[in-house]
Amino acid sequence: MSAGIDQIIFVTSKGKHALEDYFDLSPNLENWLRKRGKDALADKVRHIGSFCEVMSVRQKEPLGLGHAVYCARNMIGNEKFAVCLGDEIFPPWDEINQTKAPLKKLVDAAVELNSSTVGVVEIPLQDSASYGILDLGGKDLGDVPLKVKRTVEKPKPEAAPSKYAIIGRYVFDSSLFDALKETKPGVGGEIQLTDAMDKLCAAGKLHGVLLKGCRYDIGNPLFYMKAQIDAALRRPELSGRVREYMKSI
């Protein structure tokens, strides 16, 4: 598996075509822009459409994250692959805390250790009931990845085995599909990815990797707004006006 993006597989459901359409070529729009002298915008449209190869697979029922990943098994085959959840964003402009892009950090660790890897962040223990938490046997996670003993889904603070919360970045090898195949539905009839990950833990094939730096959980309305504001402040054509508006209120 290379550290670059060669192919993206979207797992979607009925009526959700926006992601595939965004990365598709748009010759009509491109020609319309060029006829009006907007070559720079047309070039952006062309770049997005040729950025990478995009494939999609349908999840016909909402049976959980584990099931969604399992739906892509025939496309992935025996390759290592990354799982990236769209509601977790690590912006490319964070150059202070992040010496290496989070996904590249996970890929490099997976290749070096010949193991699946899961990205985590450090959280206050009182927030543990909102996350899956790693059990690292009481060890502190620093710059060196550590072997995961088990995962605990949304424990109460007093039951949390650590302060390291799973966020939406993973790198797996194809053994995950075998684990998912054996995983029984849990609460709500859903197949949980963490249940399959525990099977990897039992085989000693899952390592936690601490991810630092700027992160937005855009499932949270406040972080969604922060992401929009921060992005606007970094765009030359918007930053001045946004700053003035924020001062005015």
In the chain, the domains with their CATH numbers are: 1-58 (no CATH), 81-217 (3.90.550.10)
- Residue-wise pLDDT tens digits, 127-156: 999 899 999 999 999 989 999 999 998 899
Q: What is the mean pLDDT of residues 202-213?
A: 93
Cross-strand pairs, 155: none
Confidence tier at 21 by pLDDT (50, 70, 90): confident
Contacts of 50 (CB under 8 A, 6+ apart): 25
Confidence tier at 18 by pLDDT (50, 70, 90): confident
Q: In this predicted structure, what is the pLDDT of residue 227?
A: 93
Q: In this predicted structure, what is the pLDDT of residue 2?
A: 39
**What's the whole-model pTM score?**
0.85
- Indicate if the pLDDT at residue 4 is higher than 70: no
- Residue-wise pLDDT tens digits, 225-249: 999 999 999 999 999 999 999 999 9
What CA–CA distance (Å, rounded) separates 227 from 100? 20
- Residue-wise pLDDT tens digits, 111-121: 999 999 999 99
Confidence tier at 5 by pLDDT (50, 70, 90): low
- Indicate if the pLDDT at residue 1 is higher than 60: no
- Residue-wise pLDDT tens digits, 145-194: 999 999 998 899 999 999 999 999 999 999 999 999 999 998 778 999 99
Q: In this predicted structure, what is the pLDDT of residue 97?
A: 52
- Residue-wise pLDDT tens digits, 48-81: 888 778 889 999 999 999 999 999 999 999 999 9
